[in-house]
Amino acid sequence: MKKLFLHIALLYLGILSTHAQTKPQTTPSDTTNYHSRKLQVDEINFVSAYYHQDGDHSAVTGGIGTEKLTDFANTFDLQLSKFNQRGRKNTFLFELGVDHYTSASSDKIDPSTISSASMSDTRVYPSLNWTQSNETTGNSFGFTGSFSKEFDYQSFGGAFNLTRLSKDKNTQFDVKLQAFLDTWKVILPVELRPGYTGPGFDADHENLKYPSAPRNSFSASFSISQVINQRLQALFVVEPSYQHGLLATDYQRDYFTDGSERIENLPGSRYKLPISARFNYFLDDRFIIRTFYRYYMDNWGVRAHTAELEIPVKLSSFFSISPFYRYNNQTGTRYFAPYGEHNPNDKYYTSDYDLSTLNSDFYGAGIRFSPPKGVFGWQHLSMLELRYGHYTRSTALTSNIVTLNLKFK
- Whether 330 has a pLDDT exceeding 60, the answer reads yes
Give the distance, in angstroms, between the CA of residue 27 and the centroid of all CA atoms in the same chain.
Answer: 33
For residue 114, how many other CB atoms are within 10 A of its CB? Answer: 7
What's the CA gap between 266 and 186, in Å, rounded? 14
Q: How confident is the model at residue 30 (pLDDT cuts 50, 70, 90)?
A: very low
Report how far residue 126's alpha carbon sits from residue 149's, in angstroms, rounded to the nearest whole number.
Answer: 10
- Decide if pLDDT at 15 tops 50: no
Helix (H) or strand (E) holding 231: none
Average pLDDT over residues 260-281: 97
Taking the whole predicted model, whether its pTM rises above 0.85 is answered as: yes
**How far is the C-alpha of 349 from the C-alpha of 308, rounded, in Å?**
32
Strand partners, 277: 236, 293
pLDDT one-digit tens code per residue, 158-214: 999 999 999 999 999 999 999 999 999 988 998 888 876 665 444 444 445 678 899
What confidence category does residue 33 fall into, taking pLDDT thresholds of 50, 70 and 90?
A: low
What's the rounded mean pLDDT across residues 27-34?
Answer: 46
Cβ distance 145 to 155 under 8 Å? no
3-state SS assignment for residue 9: helix
Task: Please count the CA atoms within 13 angstroms of the CA of 138 that sit on its side-chain side.
Answer: 12
The rounded distance, in Å, linking the Cα atoms of 159 and 177 is 5
Query: pLDDT tens digits for 279-315?
Result: 999 999 899 999 999 999 999 999 999 999 999 999 9
Q: What is the mean pLDDT of residues 359-378?
A: 93
CB-CB contact of 96 with 76 (8 Å): yes
Examine the pLDDT at 237 and tell me if it is beyond 50.
yes
Specify the DSSP element, H or E, that contains 2.
helix 2-20
Name the amino acid, one letter, at 378: W
Distance, in Å, from the CA atom of 349 to the CA atom of 256, rounded to the nearest integer, reads: 10
**Cα gap 139→314, rounded to integer Å:** 31
H/E element, 8: helix 2-20
What domains appear along the chain, each with residue ranges and CATH number? 2-16+48-408 (2.40.160.40)
Report percent pLDDT > 70 for the chain: 86
Answer positive or negative: Cα dihedral of 189, 190, 192, 195.
positive
pLDDT at 108: 80
Q: How far is CA 97 from CA 124, 147, 184, in A?
A: 6, 10, 20
